[in-house]
Structure 1
Amino acid sequence: MCGLLALVCAPGNPVTDDLVDAVAGASHLMRHRGPDEPGTWSDAQVVLGFNRLSIIDIAHSHQPLRWGPPESPDRYVLVFNGEIYNYLELREQLADEFGAQFATEGDGEAIVAGFHHWGPDVLPKLRGMFAFALWDTATGVLFCARDPFGIKPLFMATGPGGTVLGSEKKCLMDLAGRLGVDTGIDVRAVQHYTVLQYVPEPETLTTGVRRLESGSYAVIRPGEAPAVTRYFTPKFPVLAFRAGAEQARYDEITAVLEDSVAKHMRADVTVGAFLSGGIDSTAIAALAIRHNPKLITFTTGFEREGFSEIDVAVASAEAIGARHITKVVSPTEFVAALPEIVWYLDEPVADPALVPLFFVAREARKHVKVVLSGEGADELFGGYTIYREPLSLKAFDYLPPRLRKRVGKMSRPLPEGMRGKSLLHRGSLTLEERYYGNARSFSDEQLRAVLPDFREDWTHTDVTAALYDASAGWDPVARMQHLDLFTWLRGDILVKADKMTMANSLELRVPFLDSQVFAVASRLPLDQKITRTTTKYALRRALEPVVPAHVLNRPKLGFPVPIRHWLRAGELLDWANHMIDTSQAGDLVDLAAVRRMLDEHRTGEIDHSRRLWTVLIFMLWHAIFIDGSVTPDIQEPVYPVEL
């Protein structure tokens, strides 16, 4: 787990000492991703920068990493962020089949040797999380790739002077400007953010900066734009359960999770686990403690009653025999940390749960260097309550389209909050019309009021249409899962997981997001994911022997955050007022409309908390990265030496 930066100069724009220094300086902006060891490498066309968080083969696997076959031992140079959990098996296979030789005991050489012998076909063989850039000195080509689910980020920008890519966008901006990249605000991406509460891939809020999408690789030749290819597309080839074979399928789920957790425990440092009150993190911790009887688990909560899962997490830790550490976050701490958190984010994400995640990561880093967590289980096994909606709306499927639309019109004059209004409205819509993902909070009418540059043609369908086209014919829950894998998971869940842990130089591993686990989960039929009374049905059955009974059927909460209450009084309300009063983002956000929303929320007329949070986080991002009116206090990372 680290931070990488790569600059490929166009012909006629050779690497200079000044550019090497600029890359080293830019790389220092993400020193939190790898405070153990910085490094740079350059030749006439390329500069590579790196910050290492030492996890595996601490003494030898330095980066940038040189490797090559015996006839050209320094042919390749690698900078690599992530972990390859099956690296031991890959190294053995490469040695047996090709006689590959290795100078370290780490996982990076498995990537380079695999690429040398298999080319891009190495990517499906890698079980892990990764974003890497590999320079081939023989061909003068940079090959870069991201893992199938997008656990690790990779930003890219190309201009007349060349291409720059890196783990964090803030590190690219000065270099992108040198290369002639357009670094202005992408107004369409602002609208997408406001609709979805995150910036969807491959967009960023900067016009000339994009992200290499999950499950994709890019080939970069000096003077040319990156040539991007998708190598992994998640599919759900549902197989019906053979009568009487249900238990065999549950056993298969348990076995593949056990194998994934075992491989995710590979490290030369201490591994802990995040633990909330839900089944996902509890299952991961319960399986992990089999490999480390001294496992430490961590959770967080708030002082306000009803917004903490600490008691459940403590009971779970006690049941599995883990040592448990908790962090309670006060409103004062919450507000004070916001500028620092948004600086680490790079791009705004309007999910309040990232704040407690930041604090629990900071607490965990005092004790461990790696944590396991339960992200991805909901998308793979059908864990979101909204996935049950197709069951509740099934009767509408039998209505002729014209009658279905008339039902929707009937709902419009009904008072807001009236029982049945939402059901009639949502039932009148197709799945493609009603499901944007987990986060939509603004109606089109509300968007028009808040965004001066609102455009009717910049809609969620920019993001969702192609995804729905690709899943035509699947059952509705599989289509929702597919959509969330490309949107909510990689736009919100994995961004906050990566950014908030890396902000604290802590490596987070997600055993559910493993290619072998996905292969099993993707074959589940609808009735093994969702029923009228529960979610993740097959996963719950599979985990009956693993997790404590008090967690098995408990509804998902995660890290609930009381922003609805805090935005009505106290420090968070004061902060919101200050943000509106001082914001210089008035050309992008109607500040008077935001003020009206806050007033209506404060008096209890309407719950605007999610909408307010979305806009306020954008305004804070603007104040930090655009107008510079807010300067977060970012400290040099200092951590225990031995973990």
Structure 2
Amino acid sequence: MRRLAIIDVATGDQPVYSEDDRIVAVFNGEIYNFPELRDILIAKGHRLRTAGDSECIVHLYEEFGVDLVHQLRGMFAFAIWDQDRQRLVLARDRVGKKPLYWRSDHSSIQFASELKSLAQDPGMDREIDPVALHHYLTYLYVPAPRSIYQGVHKLPPGHVLIWEHGRITVNRYWRLNRIPRAVVDQRAEEERLRELLLEATRIRMMSERPLGAFLSGGVDSSAVVAAMAMQSSEPVKTFSIGFEDSRYDERHKARMVADRYSTDHHELVVTSNLLDILPRLAWHFDEPFADSSAIPSFYLAQLSRQHVTVALNGDGGDECFGGYQRYALMDQTRRIPVIPQPFAAMLAHTGTLISERSASGSLSQKLGRMMGFAAAHPSQRYARLISYFTPEQKSEIYSDPLRDLLAEVDSYRLLEEVFRGSSAETDVGRVLDVDTLTYLPGDLLVKIDITTMANSLEARSPFLDHHIMEWAAALPSALHVRHGRTKLLLKRAVAPWLPQQLLRYPKQGFGVPLATWLRGELRELAYDLLIDDTARNRGLFRPAAIQELLRQHIDGVDHSVRLWALLQFELWHRTHATPGTRSQDEVRCSIPQT
């Protein structure tokens, strides 16, 4: 097994075995509390052959069985083979920082951290799952437990799979409890948050290789850099990415933090030819993935790897502490009544037309989105708010057979079920739960894991320490979002650490000038890939509808995200259809013909 060596570089080879060699494990990730676990295991009489974290897995299994997952603090995906019981155990960390795919024909089971590894099996039928494609167009990623291939699954975060004598069981072992506790002293909570963040950062600074941090200039990454600087004897190495387009460039914010803590700061302006990086990203992402911030994320990882092997980041701060503006919108619109049909459908349709024909970020676009938002049932409003292709838009581009096949499949139901199943008492708490269980593991963590691993860099996320997450989940929603303001408690807690001007900036995000690119240097590529004979012959989309999307975008209607999703699917298909010597037509999507 190949694993990026960070801790116990000398003796950390895998697989690892129990003393009698009857239990064997392979492991991907980092266990941050392994020194304490080693002490516990040695005190119980276990003999450890290495000095790292991997070997703890087999001995913890001997002590706790599958409940060993509750002892682990870190990011992980592992497999354990129990020879005596003829049992395979697969497990994934609580929030899904490390990937794990599996497939089974009941007489056997296969698993891997990369989908392309499973696809090398000649016995695997690489047929696209049309429902996965349907969900991908809605959210820009394929949500677990599906993968883009039929018969191949993702093990969801916080789950354990047991394969024993041909029988498979999959069980959840962790989910946040969002029932709020009483808060009597807000300043005490701010101090507790600082303590938690300092400790979560400290244990993630353990490394035998050079270490640094991503610094975007936002509150979350800035707070992590501050926590590192306060606990480091040397200047922290920090890394930032910028754009020539000032609308997307946050380097000036990052410099404020870098100057305050005298970091060893490095910057890169993204000016590279996009035509060079897109095929590389399509190769590394084993499934279609259309979050365009993967581009600056890849360049940031590439820059960082020139100097360090481990990089801390601010991922998870928004999902834990209510950082997105959409959370404020959910809070402000919770009193909107349910609008009866057919008026709701008419309002949604009108809102879609207005937003599509408006400039990006304009008042009219926001009005159109608000109309569609208000038209939805409260449990579906959030799904509609964060979707990229609405059901109506997908129906317009699908071929007749694909539209008929997916007529009864509702992508919004995925989020609606999480929303309804949340233990939170407010809509803000429920959408925090939705993002923690869907967007965070399906989009953000996939993006950061793949772009860093592609550059042999390990990313670590202090805000995703489960101690911080559990503590934050139990706070009243009003300490996260109130009166249109976001991330209230976190900003107050880290205010002593950061420049005050930084706290007043609106959240910007890791955006790219996608609309401009698709009207400029990527225009020809989009036309070539989306409406050529290869794309047409798949029979998935209506060529005339795709061509109309392209035409409207060139004429000023912003279809950039939808075109990007289609472009990334096509790039993925052409890249992964021909691995090795296998023929291009082996990746397919069977659709009943009418």
Same-fold call, TM > 0.5?
A: yes
- RMSD over aligned Cα, in angstroms? 2.3
User: Partner residue of 1:125?
Assistant: 71
User: Partner residue of 1:591?
Assistant: 543
Equivalent pair of 1:274/1:298 in contact (CA under 8 Å):
yes
Of 241, 258, 266, the residue aligned with 1:317 is: 258
- Secondary structure, aligned partner of 2:449: helix
1:354-503 to 2 correspondence within 5 Å? 354-397=294-337, 401=338, 406=343, 409=346, 416-417=354-355, 418=364, 420-436=367-383, 439-452=386-399, 453-454=402-403, 455-471=406-422, 474-503=425-454
1:554-573 to 2 correspondence within 5 Å? 554-569=505-520, 571-573=521-523
Of 288, 303, 307, the residue aligned with 2:228 is: 288
What letter corresponds to residue 212 of structure 1 in structure 2?
L
1:314 is displaced (CA, Å) by: 2.0
- Does the C-alpha gap of structure 1 residues 438 and 285 become closer, same or farther in structure 2, counting only changes over 3 Å? farther
Equivalent pair of 2:73/2:466 in contact (CA under 8 Å):
yes
The reply on whether 1:535 has 2:493 as its aligned counterpart is no
- Tell me the alpha carbon deviations over residues 152-186 of structure 1, each in whole angstroms, 9 at most, x when there is no partner: 000001126521101100000122x43xx442110
Alpha-carbon distance in 1 for matches of 2:526, 2:472: 42
- Secondary structure, aligned partner of 2:462: coil
Alpha-carbon distance in 2 for matches of 1:160, 1:560: 44
1:328 is displaced (CA, Å) by: 1.3
1:393 is displaced (CA, Å) by: 1.4
TM-score by length of 2: 0.90
- Does the C-alpha gap of structure 1 residues 396 and 56 become closer, same or farther in structure 2, counting only changes over 3 Å? same
1:413 is displaced (CA, Å) by: 5.4
- Does the C-alpha gap of structure 1 residues 85 and 612 become closer, same or farther in structure 2, counting only changes over 3 Å? same
1:61 is displaced (CA, Å) by: 1.4
Alpha-carbon distance in 2 for matches of 1:241, 1:282: 26
User: Partner residue of 2:58?
Assistant: 112
User: Partner residue of 2:110?
Assistant: 164
1:24-43 to 2 correspondence within 5 Å? none
User: Partner residue of 1:46?
Assistant: none
Equivalent pair of 2:28/2:78 in contact (CA under 8 Å):
yes
- Does the C-alpha gap of structure 1 residues 311 and 473 become closer, same or farther in structure 2, counting only changes over 3 Å? closer
- Does the C-alpha gap of structure 1 residues 560 and 156 become closer, same or farther in structure 2, counting only changes over 3 Å? same
Alpha-carbon distance in 2 for matches of 1:421, 1:285: 39
1:404 is displaced (CA, Å) by: 9.2
The reply on whether 1:135 has 2:81 as its aligned counterpart is yes
Of 465, 469, 472, the residue aligned with 1:514 is: 465
Alpha-carbon distance in 2 for matches of 1:402, 1:487: 27
Equivalent pair of 2:180/2:424 in contact (CA under 8 Å):
no
Of 177, 187, 206, the residue aligned with 1:235 is: 177
1:390 is displaced (CA, Å) by: 2.6
Q: Percent identity among equivalent residues?
A: 34
Equivalent pair of 1:540/1:552 in contact (CA under 8 Å):
yes
Alpha-carbon distance in 2 for matches of 1:500, 1:133: 24
User: Partner residue of 1:32?
Assistant: none
The reply on whether 1:92 has 2:44 as its aligned counterpart is no
1:318 is displaced (CA, Å) by: 1.3
- Does the C-alpha gap of structure 1 residues 268 and 422 become closer, same or farther in structure 2, counting only changes over 3 Å? closer
User: Partner residue of 1:574?
Assistant: 524
The reply on whether 1:197 has 2:140 as its aligned counterpart is yes
TM-score by length of 1: 0.84
1:443 is displaced (CA, Å) by: 2.2
Equivalent pair of 1:65/1:78 in contact (CA under 8 Å):
yes
1:196 is displaced (CA, Å) by: 1.1
The reply on whether 1:602 has 2:543 as its aligned counterpart is no
Name whichever of 423-432 and 477-486 sits farther off: 423-432
The reply on whether 1:221 has 2:167 as its aligned counterpart is no
1:225 is displaced (CA, Å) by: 4.4
Of 126, 134, 142, the residue aligned with 1:183 is: 126
Of 246, 259, 266, the residue aligned with 1:305 is: 246
- Does the C-alpha gap of structure 1 residues 409 and 184 become closer, same or farther in structure 2, counting only changes over 3 Å? closer
User: Partner residue of 1:54?
Assistant: 5
1:451 is displaced (CA, Å) by: 2.0
Aligned length: 565
- Does the C-alpha gap of structure 1 residues 564 and 478 become closer, same or farther in structure 2, counting only changes over 3 Å? same
1:258 is displaced (CA, Å) by: 0.7
Alpha-carbon distance in 2 for matches of 1:404, 1:236: 33
- Does the C-alpha gap of structure 1 residues 90 and 577 become closer, same or farther in structure 2, counting only changes over 3 Å? same
1:131 is displaced (CA, Å) by: 0.2
1:629 is displaced (CA, Å) by: 12
Equivalent pair of 2:328/2:482 in contact (CA under 8 Å):
yes
What letter corresponds to residue 55 of structure 1 in structure 2?
I
Alpha-carbon distance in 1 for matches of 2:579, 2:57: 40
- Does the C-alpha gap of structure 1 residues 425 and 329 become closer, same or farther in structure 2, counting only changes over 3 Å? closer
Q: Which consecutive residues of structure 1, in runs of 5 or more, have no partner in the other structure?
A: 1-49, 632-643
1:280 is displaced (CA, Å) by: 0.5
Q: Which has the higher contact order (CA 8 A, sep 6+)?
A: 2
Equivalent pair of 2:330/2:382 in contact (CA under 8 Å):
no
1:77 is displaced (CA, Å) by: 1.6
1:422 is displaced (CA, Å) by: 4.0
Equivalent pair of 2:289/2:568 in contact (CA under 8 Å):
yes
What letter corresponds to residue 154 of structure 1 in structure 2?
L
Equivalent pair of 2:316/2:463 in contact (CA under 8 Å):
yes
- Secondary structure, aligned partner of 1:285: helix
Alpha-carbon distance in 2 for matches of 1:375, 1:564: 26
Name whichever of 513-522 and 449-458 sits farther off: 449-458
